[in-house]
Structure 1
Amino acid sequence: MAVQSEPVRAKTPGAGVGGDVPKGSRPSAGPGPLSRSTPYLLLLPAIAATLALLLWPLVETVILSFQNLNKRQLILHETQWTGFKNYTDQLSSSEFWHTAGRSVAFTVINVVLVMVIGTLVGLLLNRLGKKMRLALQISLMLAWAMPFVAQTTVFTWLFDSRYGVVNWFLDKLGWHSMADYNWYSSQYSTFFVIILLIVWGSIPFVAFNMYGALTTIPNELYEAARLDGAGSWKIFTSVIYPNLKPFFLGTTFLEVIWIFKCFTQVYAINDGGPQRLTETLPVYAFIEGVGNQHYGVGSAIAVLTILMLSVLMGYYFRIIIKQEDEL
């Protein structure tokens, strides 16, 4: 007698006895194409905003750098293409190269001071008690949160020749020649005020990052170094720096970019004076483009500034990538 076999039904998740799917329930479908593209769809607003706010003005600046656009052309809506003339004029100008060298030196001095002092403050935060640490953190946060224009106004008052607190304090200490000293009368004294302002405003970022990074180092490493007789400097060079090398590279990278393109503090202190001796490349581009109404020339200087910053950071960026590959 032949036996007739019944087809075997595979059980599905959530099925009842015998593999039957309960009534009213449907098997869940896997992620479809729409769900896979959802992250990219969510990124579209940010990408659109970036293109509108960053890429488009950059493209317009590059286009404008190939034109001769002054007040007359702007009013008459005339377009005069000059090719690479704006670039060749600047690259053959001693004033441009003096400003570029000044900008590089200005950036190096500021970055070194910010990284050294900010690192020391971060180490101090890690050693203080809760109450003193909180007081120092609040002070750093207030300095960091102050707008650039407000910072510049405060420092302008502090170093005022007639009513400034700095001159009054130096006079009380015995330097009577500083009672009416004009800090903005020479290149180096003006740069001293600007550098002090930028370092003061940049230290909190490095200090907070340093303190946060220090919390990731296990205490066992410190204890092992102390058992070996290591002092503070040896602990920093053998424990802290090797573990926080990516932090130092990344923070220095950001500080170089921010300080090289710094405009507000330099311009608001003394308009690039005296006699345009404290102009950096961003200030130089603004004065030539907006102040002197040579918009094409100013755009060319801005593009050259971006290219110079890219060249300066190219080698350093390779170091960061190499460091990340080694981790």
Structure 2
Amino acid sequence: MSADTTTPAKVPPPRQAPPPRTLGAPRRKRTARGTGIPWLLLAPCLLILALVMGYPLVRLVTLSFQSFGQSQLWGFKPAEWVGFDNFSGILGDSEFWGVVVRTIVFAAGSVIFTMVAGMALALLQQRVSGWMKTLINIVLVASWGMPVIVATTVFKWLFDTDYGVFNAVLSKLPGVDMVGHNWFASGPQGLLVIMLLVVWGAVPFVVITLSAGLTQVPQELEEAARLDGAGAWGVFRYVTLPILKPIIVMLTTLSVIWDMGVFPQVFVMRGGHPESDFQLLSTYSYDRAFVVNDYGQGSAIALVTVVLLLGVVAVYMRQMLQIGEVE
């Protein structure tokens, strides 16, 4: 056999990748520009908020440290700085603390009823037909869009002493006689009616938001939980509830803020003159400012309410940060 005298083909050496370009400076420029664009887009909204809410808030803080009444309002006397006298006056008043406790109980009851009813209706919507779900959404949006004054008038008629539909329906039950019953004869019963009014107006927003959140719950996780032997409560507790936790925290915080500041429902339901058993922080601050004409003390009460609500917001932010860290 003759030897192979063919010249082997030369294999070119592998090409080296070009050194990476230095992208440090352009990247910093894009980062700086990208950081400034959101603030530029938010600038008009922040400016409007500063103009609309900035002056009232500054004025509220200023009045809370002044002795300001009718004489100062009409310019007959200059406002007198009294330091923390307005705060010490309300914090040392047992009536104020009674109003604070009543407001907290009222807000807590309203939030609990709102969240429970909203979650129940949202879960119910997942199990009804399409046309029924559409009908429920139409009713929810209609009730949500109803003005507060109209809704309050309707509830006043429903719970009227002489012509109330609610009393007539309850009187149909065996052994129940509610004809002529006055729901507003006592503070607890009257506030319960107002609480139902607040819950009725707040439930649609909660239902619509939770229904949107339920669409994001993976069906595979629910089916896996059922295969592992979990019942309906187990699936809801260990699968649905953890996924909805951020939405529930947000809705609960917003509900607390709204229910702590309830004003028109109480004011209109009691004909513009809420009795002492019906006073909440919002109406109590209004009465001190515009009925007693002590604007300094009314502003101090409003400022204390703002501080309480800021505490709720702080708890909300802490919860959201913890949820973000877990994720």
Deviations 1:138-190 (A, max 9, x none): 11111111111111111011111112211222233356641111111111110
Q: Which residue of 1 aligns with 2:57?
A: 58
Amino acid aligned to 1:76? G
Q: Does residue 150 of structure 2 align to residue 154 of structure 1?
A: no
Matched, 1:118 2:138: no
Equivalent position amino acid for 2:52 in 1: L
Helix, strand or coil at the partner of 2:277: coil
Distance 1:220 1:236 in 2: 14
* Structure 2 counterparts to residues 1-327 of structure 1, below 5 A: 39-77=38-76, 78-174=78-174, 177-270=177-270, 275-327=275-327
Q: Deviations over 1:84-140 (max 9, x none)?
A: 111110011111111111111111111111111110111011111101111111111
TM superposition shift of 1:55: 2.1
Q: What secondary structure sits across from 2:256 in the alignment?
A: helix
Q: Which amino acid aligns with 1:91?
A: L
Is the 8 Å Cα contact of residues 184 and 190 (structure 1) preserved in structure 2? Answer: yes
Q: Which has the larger displacement, 298-307 or 157-166? A: 157-166
Mapped partners of 1:129, 1:194: distance in 2? 33
2:22 alignment counterpart: none
Contact 1:187 1:273 in 2 (8 A): no
Following superposition, the deviation at residue 218 of structure 1 comes to 1.5
- TM norm structure 1: 0.85
Alpha-carbon distance between aligned partners in 1 of 2:162 and 2:98, rounded to the nearest angstrom = 32
Alignment CA distance shift 1:176-1:238 (3 Å): closer
**Matched-pair contact (CA < 8 Å) for 2:253–2:312:** no
What amino acid maps onto 1:48 in structure 2?
L
Q: Which residue number corresponds to residue 10 of structure 2?
A: none
Matched letter for residue 159 of structure 2: F
Secondary structure of the 1:183 match is coil
1: distance between equivalents of 2:310 and 2:236? 32
How much has 1:271 moved relative to structure 2? 5.5
Distance across 1 between alignment mates of 2:54 and 2:206 = 29
Of 307-316 and 62-71, the range deviating more from structure 2: 307-316
2-structure distance, mates of 1:238, 1:292? 53
Structure 1 69/48 Cα, relative in aligned 2: closer, same or farther at 3 Å?
A: same
| C-alpha deviation, 1:38, in angstroms | 5.5
Are the counterparts in 2 of residues 272 and 278 from structure 1 also a CA contact under 8 Å? no
Q: Which one is further off, 309-318 or 280-289?
A: 309-318
The answer to whether the Cα contact below 8 Å between 2:285 and 2:299 also exists between their aligned partners in 1 is: yes
- Displacement of 1:310 in angstroms is 2.1
Deviates more, 1:258-267 or 1:73-82: 73-82
2:257–2:312: 8 Å Cα contact kept in structure 1? no
Instruction: Work out whether residues 151 and 197 of structure 2, in 8 Å CA contact, stay in contact via their aligned partners in 1.
Output: yes
SS at match of 1:303: helix
Query: How far did residue 206 of structure 1 move?
Result: 1.1
Q: Hey, what's the Cα distance between the residues in 2 that align with 1:101 and 1:271?
A: 23
Whether contact under 8 Å (1:272, 1:279) holds in the other structure is no
Render the CA deviation track for 1:192-218: whole Å, top value 9, x for unaligned: 111110111111111111110010112
Q: Could you tell me whether the CA contact under 8 Å between 2:267 and 2:274 is conserved in 1?
A: no
Q: Tell me what 1:24 maps to.
A: none
1:267–1:225 Cα change, 3 Å: same
Q: 1:238 Cα deviation (Å)?
A: 1.3
Contact 1:246/1:324 (8 A) holds in 2: no
Stretches of structure 1 lacking an aligned partner (at least 5 in a row): 1-29
Rounded Cα–Cα distance in structure 2 between residues aligned with 1:95 and 1:48: 39
List runs of 5+ in structure 2 lacking aligned partners.
1-28
C-alpha separation in 1, matches of 2:314 and 2:220: 37
